[in-house]
């Protein structure tokens, strides 16, 4: 199907569709900028673990205020915005139809930037609702809902006007994201307001888990499914298998929120349900990963020269690892060791940076030259950005897993005073800081490369 | 059914919503109806039935302190739950007495909940009464003065602000005391 679409796209058979892409451009350019800015905050936070008095006497630079800014900035300022921009690029092309309304799209992009700036100011001022991933104050939440409705309406209308009957898998994933995000977001930011205690925590974890599982996963996979065949010029291995992956994801993910409270003050039977469904997550993951790997069969040599493909396939590997870890953490015995330790940020960063940001970076590298009609500023720099992010990322994940596992063992040995378990992790946090420097260098190279292409320092036309 | 969703956007949309609501409702709306302990405040006056005590809503001073805890993001580093793990009960008890496991009925009035996900610092579910006022003041001003090697941030703007310090202290001292778990109630004020 993708080939059919691409033939129409390339040869202009029939009425050639002209894509204006103003919306995609706005989203992508601003998200890349936030990736860079929030990267600085990430470095500061990592430094505070090693030098806790750093910037310590200024209230708005304290750890507890920078951390939510880092998380929200990366999730909503960078990743979701980049994903939305790429969806605005991908969907019209898969539908063979122009975006339903560029005006509405650009307005969405402007609103999104207002939200991100509002988040920066309110979070630094300490206006924090106290729920992870749902820190933003209610008026910002309301704006997010409005922006999401604008985004969703625009894409759904585009899909409704599509030229091809059958829908490529990326279209389902984007549709899924539109629906699920709306409800997941309302659960985490609205329903929680009317509850307390364990009930509220249960809603909060449902939201936290599905922010990753039903927002970043489906939109990330939509991008991977589009750009892997595109970047490698190879058709997708199996349409049917992609369907298995999609519908099992749709069914299984919502059930697993309570696995964030294993051994905690929440009903045992609910924990057990969450564990059972967490294990079932292996099904959609396997279906997706098998499909994408089978697509690459005989094509792996392309990875040597092709930077977007490097990011994409490394992202798939990280996706597999992350989604293997997740179900394992939910097992009671494993959970008793790794839960609440530094293992968890290692795991979370592999999902959000290693898998989904890698997909978004690849999509951006692929789309930017097409959007602005210029060759990428520098291929060599793009390759360096890959290696910096890869080395930094691996350093980050692996040291935190080892450190976190060790920390968990120590906690379970009650003879060791807590403070000794803090001191023991100092070397781990130092390595994490330096890994962060590598990652940040990768982000700088990526952002610079994209921005240089956008402003047109290379006059060479895109191939 | 799934085949239809392949070519009909409306079908795919409806099916995706439906699957979401099945799992969503069964795991968020139904559980509190089944397990009443999520909403019923802890209360026990009979020592024969186990630990005694009563969960009461926080007073306004403690509420203010809780708002500071929320504002400063203390909850990114501290959990508030003694889990059903032996090491948790041993580690988060103090002066030789094990901490009782946290139960849902101890958190009925909490909003936002403060269970937390990460223990960069120790769990605070039973910290109420562990330290006195002077300890907390010094600790908030500079944690490393009391605990060398600590990576807790300093909070001079709280320690040096009598109203804020008083509120946060009151909140700290209230934590985990719905259950009267200390022998002879030997809590610090």
Instruction: Please write the tens of the pLDDT for every residue from A62-74.
Output: 999 999 999 999 9
Contact B175, B85 (CB under 8 A): no
Q: Are residue B103 and residue B29 in the same domain, yes or no?
A: no
Q: Are residue B62 and residue B152 in the same domain, yes or no?
A: yes
pLDDT in tens, A26-59: 999 999 999 999 999 999 999 999 999 999 889 9
- Where does the pLDDT of residue B12 fall: very low under 50, low under 70, confident under 90, or very high at 90 and above? confident
Work out the end-to-end distance of chain A between its first and last CA atoms, rounded to an integer number of angstroms: 24
Q: Is the pLDDT of residue A115 over 70?
A: yes
Q: Write down the pLDDT at residue A11.
A: 37
Contact A347, A325 (CB under 8 A): yes
Q: Average pLDDT of B9-30?
A: 91
pLDDT in tens, A243-280: 999 999 999 999 999 999 999 999 999 999 999 999 99
Are B112 and A131 in contact (CB < 8 Å)? yes
Ordered DSSP codes for chain B: -TTHHHH-HHHHHHHHHHHHHHHHIIIIIHHHHH-GGGTS--EE--GGGSS-EE-----HHHHHHHHHHHHTTGGGT------SSHHHHHHT-BTTBPPPPP-GGGSTT-SS----S--SS---TT-TTTS-HHHHHHHHH-HHHHSTT--PPP-HHHHT-HHHHHHHHHHHHHTT-SB--SGGG----
- Where does the pLDDT of residue A457 fall: very low under 50, low under 70, confident under 90, or very high at 90 and above? low
Q: Is the pLDDT of residue B1 over 80?
A: no
Percent with pLDDT over 90 in chain A: 92
Q: Are residue B74 and residue B7 in the same domain, yes or no?
A: no
pLDDT in tens, A310-359: 999 999 999 999 999 999 999 999 999 999 999 999 999 999 999 999 99
- Summary mean pLDDT of chain A: 93
Q: What is the CATH number of the domain that holds B124?
A: 1.10.760.10
Q: Are residue B25 and residue B68 in the same domain, yes or no?
A: no
Q: Write down the pLDDT at residue A458.
A: 54
For residues A349 and A392, give the distance between their C-alpha atoms in angstroms, rounded to a whole number.
11
In a domain, B41, yes or no: no
Q: Are residue B19 and residue B87 in the same domain, yes or no?
A: no
Q: Are residue B28 and residue B97 in the same domain, yes or no?
A: no
For an interface test with B, give the residue of A199, A203, A213 to mutate (most B CBs within 10 A): A199
CB-hemisphere CA count at 13 Å for A90? 33
pLDDT in tens, B141-185: 999 999 999 999 999 999 999 999 999 999 999 999 999 999 999
Q: Average pLDDT of A200-204?
A: 96
Are A263 and B84 in contact (CB < 8 Å)? yes
Q: A128 to chain B: nearest residue by CA?
A: B71
- Where does the pLDDT of residue A459 fall: very low under 50, low under 70, confident under 90, or very high at 90 and above? low
Q: Average pLDDT of A112-121?
A: 97
Distance (Å) from the alpha carbon of A56 to chain B's nearest alpha carbon: 6
- Where does the pLDDT of residue B13 fall: very low under 50, low under 70, confident under 90, or very high at 90 and above? confident
Which domains are seen in chain A, by residue range? Answer: 18-454 (1.20.210.10)
What is the number of domains present in chain B? Answer: 2
Q: Is the pLDDT of residue A462 over 70?
A: no
Are B7 and A195 in contact (CB < 8 Å)? no
Q: Are residue B75 and residue B22 in the same domain, yes or no?
A: no
Q: Which domain holds residue B27?
A: 2-34
For residues A43 and A61, give the distance between their C-alpha atoms in angstroms, rounded to a whole number.
13
Contacts of A336 in chain B (CB under 8 A): 85
Comparing CB atoms, the residue among B28, B88, B110 nearest residue A203 is B28
In a domain, B187, yes or no: no
In a domain, B52, yes or no: no
């Amino acid at each position: 199907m993708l080939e059919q679409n691409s033939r129409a796209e390339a040869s202009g058979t029939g009425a050639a569709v002209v894509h204006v892409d103003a919306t995609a451009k706005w989203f992508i350019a601003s998200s890349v900028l936030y990736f860079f800015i929030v990267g600085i905050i990430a470095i500061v936070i990592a430094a505070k673990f090693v030098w806790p008095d750093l910037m310590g006497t200024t209230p708005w630079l304290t750890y507890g205020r920078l951390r939510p800014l880092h998380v929200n900035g990366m999730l909503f300022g960078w990743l979701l915005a980049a994903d939305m921009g790429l969806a605005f690029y991908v969907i019209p092309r898969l539908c063979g139809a122009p975006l339903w309304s560029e005006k509405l799209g650009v307005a969405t992009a402007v609103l999104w930037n207002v939200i991100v700036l509002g988040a920066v100011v309110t979070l630094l001022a300490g206006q924090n609702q106290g729920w992870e991933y749902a820190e933003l104050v209610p008026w910002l939440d309301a704006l997010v809902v409005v922006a999401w409705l604008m985004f969703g309406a625009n894409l759904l209308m585009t899909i409704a006007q599509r030229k091809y009957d059958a829908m490529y898998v990326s279209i389902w994933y984007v549709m899924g994201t539109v629906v699920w995000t709306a409800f997941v977001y309302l659960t985490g930011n609205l329903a929680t307001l009317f509850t307390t205690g364990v009930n509220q925590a249960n809603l909060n974890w449902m939201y936290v888990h599905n922010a990753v599982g039903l927002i970043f996963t489906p939109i990330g996979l939509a991008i991977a499914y589009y750009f892997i065949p595109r970047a490698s010029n190879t058709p997708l291995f199996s349409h049917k298998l992609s369907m298995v992956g999609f519908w099992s994801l749709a069914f299984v993910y919502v059930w697993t929120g309570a696995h964030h409270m294993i051994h905690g003050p929440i009903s045992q039977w609910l924990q057990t349900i969450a564990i059972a469904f967490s294990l079932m997550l292996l099904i959609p993951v396997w279906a997706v990963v098998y499909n994408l790997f089978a697509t690459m069969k005989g094509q792996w040599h392309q990875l040597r020269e092709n930077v977007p493909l490097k990011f994409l396939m490394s992202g798939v590997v990280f996706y597999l690892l992350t989604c293997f870890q997740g179900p394992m953490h939910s097992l009671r015995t494993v959970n008793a060791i790794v839960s609440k330790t530094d293992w968890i940020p290692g795991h979370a960063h592999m999902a959000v940076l290693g898998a989904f940001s890698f997909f978004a970076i690849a999509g951006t590298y692929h789309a930017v030259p097409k959007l602005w009609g210029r060759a990428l500023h520098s291929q060599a720099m793009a390759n360096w950005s890959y290696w910096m992010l890869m080395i930094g990322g691996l350093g980050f994940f692996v040291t935190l897993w080892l450190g976190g596992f060790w920390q968990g063992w120590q906690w379970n040995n009650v003879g060791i005073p807590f403070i000794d378990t803090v001191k023991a992790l100092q070397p781990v946090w130092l390595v994490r800081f330096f890994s962060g420097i590598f990652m940040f260098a990768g982000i700088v190279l990526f952002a610079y490369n994209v921005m240089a292409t956008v402003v047109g320092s290379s006059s060479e036309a895109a191939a | 059914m799934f085949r239809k969703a392949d070519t009909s956007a409306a079908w795919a949309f409806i099916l995706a919503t439906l699957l979401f609501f099945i799992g969503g409702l069964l795991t968020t709306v139904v559980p509190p109806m089944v397990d009443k302990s999520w909403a019923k405040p802890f209360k026990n006056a009979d020592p024969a039935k186990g630990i005694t005590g009563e969960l009461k809503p926080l007073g306004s001073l403690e509420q203010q302190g809780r708002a500071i805890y929320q504002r400063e993001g203390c909850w990114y580093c501290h959990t508030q739950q003694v889990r059903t793990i032996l090491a948790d009960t041993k580690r988060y008890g103090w002066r030789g007495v094990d901490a009782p496991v946290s139960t849902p009925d101890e958190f009925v009035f909490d909003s936002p909940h403060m269970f937390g996900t990460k223990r960069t610092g120790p769990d605070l579910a039973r910290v109420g009464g562990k330290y006195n006022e002077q300890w907390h003041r010094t600790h908030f001003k500079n944690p490393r003065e009391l605990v060398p090697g600590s990576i807790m941030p300093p909070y001079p703007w709280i320690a040096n602000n009598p109203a804020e310090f008083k509120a946060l202290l009151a909140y700290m001292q209230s934590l985990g005391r719905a259950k009267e778990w200390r022998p002879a109630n030997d809590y610090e004020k």
